Amino acid sequence: MEGVALKFPPLKLFNPNFPTSPATTVTFSSSSSSSSCSASLPVSATAGKEADSALGTLSLGHLTRPDFPILHQEVNGSKLVYLDNAATSQKPHQVLKALQSYYAGYNSNVHRGIHYLSAKATDQYELARKKVADFINAEESQEIVFTRNATEAINLVAYSWGISNLKPGDEVLLTVAEHHSAIVPWQLVAQRTGAVLRFVDLDENEVPEVEKLRESISRKTKLVVVHHVSNVLASFLPIKHIARWVHDVGGKILVDACQSVPHIVVDVQELDADFLVASSHKMCGPTGIGFLYAKSDILSAMPPFLGGGEMISDVFLDHSTYADPPSRFEAGTPAIGEAIGLGAAIDYLQGIGMQKIHDYETELANYLYESLSTIPNVRIYGPRPSEKVKRAALCSFNVEDVHPTDLATLLDQQHGVAIRSGHHCAQPLHRYLGVNASARASLHFYNTKDDVDDFINALSETVSFLNSFK
């Protein structure tokens, strides 16, 4: 089949001087002592239909959008509406400035260097680790290991803890809704150790069947690997309860928190998680860095994952001894600038307040679900929101007889609306749902109801256009 060459118009700023009108400054002060700054947010006094004359009516999305320069541009001749936040979030000025400050002012390798630049880089790198620890309420910063991303963090647990602790007949329990990054490493480890992977299906509300998961936990269960928030179904799992069930039989729990840490208050001590992973780029930080949280006693007993510099204590020709965690698991030069940028992102999020973000996004989630439900022949995956059932601010969906990639392509090219289409790294879940792919719109706190309205209007026009060929 011949390919089709698409010519895209040049990218240009929607409003390069945003804001152009007199600005009001709103400061969100952090209640956490770990936050070294607050988010001082310039607010356009005349933001079109998005703004009211009274400051109190401005949503969190209106207040924070000016901090994100990428949002103020045209794409394919239309104002950009970015609704692909479950794949990656955008970065505020504060994070961009932190990266620039490091590379322009004190770029140097960390640890062991005695000169000024190295000492400052080391201080800021380790301060970022402390910020992560405080952000998720880890008991100590040594429980935080920096990795390339959450995928590497899961692989670290799989190949260090998993290879050392799993034996033939041991069970690793997951759900069919897990991300590939939470499935594939354990498939590889199971092949090497003889451990068995077991999967829990969805219930009638298209949420992993929690009671079935509880019944599946036995003395054979050495590890439960589950998401906190599904990147497809928008559902939440009761991690605290699951942790108690698996601990009662002597097992452990690994939590994929990539879709929760950026959006809600996450307290690893309250959850009693043994392992928890997340990615910087989904929480307004740079790409190329994520982190693993692990309880200190578990981490101390784990062997190295990668060998090389930085992770050693002493090296001899016939053997080596290893550093204490977290250095034991951070071989080679780390992502220094990225860690510092992640620290700046945490400062920014804490300056707003994670509960404030969660409350606002819950409102957006309901508005997105109800608005999308008005599209004829739409199928939204996951639970219907109610007073008892909360959804994350994303919707994976299909429209009858319309391929999701056709929707995503035309939304982008004709309307400047960025959503995602495909299997969202969840092929087993899509097979369970009886589809090959879905479209997904996902929001963050800098989105507004106006973004949702623009998306729904564009989607309605796109569906009508595609149906006109039938």
Q: How far is residue 246's CA from residue 239's CA, in Å, rounded to a whole number?
A: 11
> Taking each helix axis from N to C terminus, what angle separates 449-467 and 354-372, rounded to the nearest 10 degrees?
30
What is the spatial distance between Cα 359 and Cα 382, in angstroms, rounded to a whole number? Answer: 20
Rounded to 10 deg, the angle between the 354-372 and 336-352 helix axes is 80
Contact status, residue 418 vs residue 458, Cβ threshold 8 Å: no
Query: Measuring CA to CA, how many Å separate 420 from each of 395, 404, 423?
Result: 11, 9, 9
**Residues annotated as part of the active site:** 425
Is residue 469 within 8 Å of 449, Cβ to Cβ? no
DSSP 245: H
Contacts of 151 (CB under 8 A, 6+ apart): 181, 290
Cα–Cα dist 399/377, whole Å: 6
**Residue type at position 269:** Q
Using alpha carbons, select from 414, 416, 351, 346 the residue that is nearest to residue 84: 416
Cross-strand pairs, 275: 254, 294
* End-to-end CA, the chain: 22
Q: Strand pairing of 81-82 and 417-418? A: parallel
- Could you give the 3-state DSSP secondary structure of residue 369? helix
Report which of 126, 130, 131 is spatially closest to residue 141, judged by C-alpha positions: 130
- Alpha helices, H only, 251-393: 268-271, 296-301, 336-352, 354-372
Nearest to 293 by CA among 322, 252, 255: 255
Alpha carbons 404 and 237: distance in angstroms, whole number: 27
Pairing of β 144-147 and β 78-79: unpaired
CB-based contacts of 100, cutoff 8 Å, min separation 6: none
User: Which DSSP helix (H) or strand (E) runs through 397?
Assistant: strand 394-399
